[in-house]
Structures are given as structure tokens and as C-alpha cells.
Structure 1
């Protein structure tokens, strides 16, 4: 049977969802600014350390010692204070995005995993600080019966996020490797001793290496978990597609949609979004790929025997 309907449909966004979208954007922007601040300070110290290695005879030993002390203090501040501050803001951003998607997908709120929702007053306060383009008044959903539309949208979110985060983790690891090689080559050209290399370059770069390793590890782990959950969800949907009119199968898939949403929340709470410039760099190609992938997923479910008509109601008793 050929289905001529479009692959997606437009679901309107009410004012409550619009405020949640704005508040989520503001909270994620704060997380990004904190990450950018940590990166800027770490990069400045690491750059100063490289200068100390290259111009060791000019800068002198007092400068190197001072730089090393500052590097150690910054590494401690990163480990003890700034990371916790960023984690709290990241948790709030994840809660706000969870509130939006739970309402959009009409899923129950998981109090055990997420705790309490952000209060409406705080949502409005954050929403009022939004300064970007007005959010869209609609949201694209796969043109599938419930809960397959929710699951297909979650699968797109999982796979897209997995690709972006894995790509960013690779760039971070490449940058750390390049910086380490640059420091070693500079030390070799200057005939620096191991002690000078450690004091002048390794210690000032400690904060940047800690930040880079944490970013690489967290983004890779999130990408791996997202890919695993997406694969399981797709396989389960394809297996149960022919029986989607069965009420028990429908309830089972609704439970799975809530479990997949739990994994999305956990991944967002674990690692921040990639920088906006990095996301936009690949957005056109990624958007084309995953829009086509969503249409292909819909065709696969229909070919597997998914019934697009509503389940018939039992006749009324006379």
C-alpha cells in the first residue's frame, strides 16, 4: 500500500511551549558562555606557557614560576568550583528541555529521575532574557500514528546528537594532540630541560588538558549511548510495527518512549551542547541527511506493516 501523505506534519506550539523554548535557549547559552570562559582562561595560560618555553632566556625563571603557580591554582579552581557551577546550570538547561519535550510529546514526567520541574515563574524570568530570533510557532513531527511519531522524532534527535557530539570529540582530541606536539617541538628547538618543560609548559597547560580530556570523554560517552539507544528503539519499532493496533503493543511502545526520553535527559545533563559555531558549521548537511533519514524511517515502518489508520472503536451496545 502506497502512502501519499507528507513525511512530516506541523504541530503548533502554544505560548507555554514557546516560553520553555526561550528559557531553554537562555540556559544553554549560559552553559556555553561558562565553557567559553574556561576555555579562554585555559588557552591563555597554555599560550603563556608556550611563550615561556620559546623565550625562556628572555622571560626568566621568576616568570615561569609565577606562571606555574597560576596554572596550578587555575586547575584547582576548575576542578573544585567552576565545574560544579557549570554542572548546575547544565542541569537546569536539561530540565527545561525535558519540560518542553514532555509537553510536546505528551509523555508523563519522571519525578524519580528528574525531580521537580522548573517553576513557571522561573521559566518566565528566563524567557524574558531571550534576545534571539523569535522561536517557530510550529514543530515538525513525523506523519505517523502515536507513539511511532514520538519514537521516530526521538530517534532523529538521538542520531543527530550522536553525530555532532562524536565529531566534536574528535576535533577536541585532535586539538589536544596538536598542542602537545607543538609544546614538545618547541622545547626540542630550544633545547629545554625536562624540568623547564614541565614548569614552563606542562603546568600552565594543565587546566586546558583537563578541560579537553573531560570534554572528549563526556562527548564520546554521550555519543555512544545515544547511538546504542537509537539502534534499539529502531529495531523495536520495526519489529512491533505490524501489531501497532494492539492496545498492549501500543502501551509497551509508550513505555519505551518514556525510557528513551529518560536517556535523552541523562545525556543532556551529562555534557553540554557543542559550541554554536561548530553546530552551524555542519548544519546544512546534517539537516539534509537527517530529514531524509526521517522520511526513510517512516517508509521503513510502513513497509514493515505499520497501520496508519486509527484503531477501530468497538460498536456501541444497543
Structure 2
């Protein structure tokens, strides 16, 4: 039996969840600002295409915004992503009673407290962050929680990546269609449609590329977790338990690495699928555990 479920609803755990949730909220604000600015300029390009005019000023604004979005705002988001991933590492290592990664800096308690006060939302939704694994052996419970985290994230990111891919293809095809309908040269089509909306195109492409990278990395982690789960038994010995402990630490390092990347999924998208995904996570956890316990 383990203490994961009792720990995850403790005051310390809830404060840590509040802190990293507030941190990720900052990332989503930066991402929202990037999308909003890009959409506004892209909308202007639609208007210019409709009146069949090319605006050098709009081209300059579009290219300038693309650079600002891809360099300055993206860099700010990356800083928050690293801090958020580190705070979530505080949460997981406390939950799993796992040693801290040697050489990795911790976030100061004062900073965590300040961030937790910035949390806006229902505290009730922060409880039972991971599925119920209270009746399982400690390494088994940790692996189930790690798998739940990874599998949920993969599914959510696949949906978001598909949505952005669809938009990106539709936008580019629309630009080509406008160029053909107005009998534009390639240069005119670029200056009238693609250059002003370059910020939006680059952001969409960056989103698709980064999401695919994280999906691939997390899929490998999910396969590793499944391989470890395949041979666990209720009568696991000390040697095997120590090996599993080391494996869990390695898997956790992989989870941290993917969390530290700036590739947030919008809150509205997460909220839309949250109830179904949470139910699927719990069902999968029960199915995988197969009734195995520490008795």
C-alpha cells in the first residue's frame, strides 16, 4: 500500500498544484497574445485581399510581428515553462516520495507561495489529481500515475495538433485560392496574403512541430511505462523494487523534459475534454492494475 492518494490532497500538494497552475496560466496568456496579434494582422490581410490592394505597411507589420512573436514572446513563455515544470516536479517527487534529481535547481518556497496566491479557479478541481492507486504497491502506483499523466497529455495534444494542422492547411489553401481568383503573380500573392499573415503561419507551424515532438517523446515514455508494468507482481522482491525505483526516476526525468517545453494547449480546449479524459484515465488505471494490490 502507498500514500500517494492521501498526499495528493494534502495542503502542501494543493498549494503546489495552485503554483504550477498559475505558472502555466502565464504561459497560456503569452500564447493567447501571440495568437490574438497574429489573427488581427491576418484579418487585415483578408480585408486587403478583398479590396485587391497590397499594403507595404501591413507587410512590414506582419513580418515585424512574426519576429516579435517567435523570438521575444516565445522566450518569455519558455522561462515560465521551466519554472512551471520544476514546481510540478516538486509536486510529483513529494507525491511519490522520490529523490530530487541531482543538479536540478529547486524553486524557493517563497516563490511557490507567491505563485499559489495567484491561482484563480476552483480548489475542488485540484483534488484527486491522479487516479486512485491506494491499494497498489508503491512502484506500481507511481507507474500508474506516470502513465495517466503521459497518456492524458498525448491524447489532448494530438487533438490540438490536428485542429491547428487543419487551420494551417485551410489558411494556405485560401491564400492560393485568392491568388488564382484575382490572377495574382506569386510575388503579389505573397505580399498580399502570406507576408502579412506570416506571424500566424509561423505560430501554427511552430505549434504543430512542437506538439509532434512532445507527442513522440511522451509516446516513448508511455511504451517504457507499459514495459515496466508488464512484469510487476504482488510478490515483487527487494532487488526488483530497487530497479523499479530507478526506472521510475528515469521516466520522471523524461516527463520533466517534455513539461519544460513551451507548447501549451489552450484552457478552453483542455476544459472541453476534461471530464471524458478524467473518466478514461481512471478506467484505464483500474484496467491496468487488474486488481493487483499489496496484500
Q: From 59, 64, 71, give the equivalent of 1:68.
A: 59
The residue that corresponds to 2:224 in the other structure is 232
Task: Provide the C-alpha distance between the structure 2 equivalents of 1:19 and 1:291, rounded to a whole number of angstroms.
Answer: 23
When the two chains are superposed, the root-mean-square deviation of aligned CA atoms in Å is 2.0
The residue that corresponds to 1:108 in the other structure is 99
The residue that corresponds to 1:216 in the other structure is 208
Q: From 14, 27, 45, give the equivalent of 1:49.
A: 45
CA shift, 1:275, in A, is: 0.8
Q: From 109, 115, 122, give the equivalent of 1:133.
A: 122
CA shift, 1:109, in A, is: 0.9
Q: How many residues align?
A: 290
In structure 2, relative to structure 1, the CA distance for the partners of 1:252 and 1:207 (3 Å cut) is same
Ranges in structure 2 where 5+ consecutive residues have no aligned partner: none
SS at match of 1:282: helix
State the Cα deviation string for residues 114-152 of structure 1 (Å, max 9, x = none). x21110111111111122112445554313111110111
Matches within 5 A, 1:146-295: 146-241=138-233, 244=236, 246-295=237-286
Q: From 15, 23, 29, give the equivalent of 1:33.
A: 29
CA shift, 1:232, in A, is: 1.7
SS at match of 1:253: helix
Ranges in structure 1 where 5+ consecutive residues have no aligned partner: 310-318
State the Cα deviation string for residues 246-282 of structure 1 (Å, max 9, x = none). 1110000011111111111111111333111111222
State the Cα deviation string for residues 219-261 of structure 1 (Å, max 9, x = none). 11111211221112112221243651x1110000011111111
Q: From 290, 297, 308, give the equivalent of 2:294.
A: 308
Task: Provide the C-alpha distance between the structure 2 equivalents of 1:280 and 1:99, rounded to a whole number of angstroms.
Answer: 24
Task: Provide the C-alpha distance between the structure 1 equivalents of 2:149 and 2:33, rounded to a whole number of angstroms.
Answer: 28
CA shift, 1:45, in A, is: 1.2
CA contact (8 A) 1:21 1:97 kept: yes
CA contact (8 A) 1:150 1:257 kept: yes
CA contact (8 A) 1:222 1:271 kept: no
Which shows bigger deviation, 199-208 or 182-191?
A: 182-191
The residue that corresponds to 2:288 in the other structure is 297
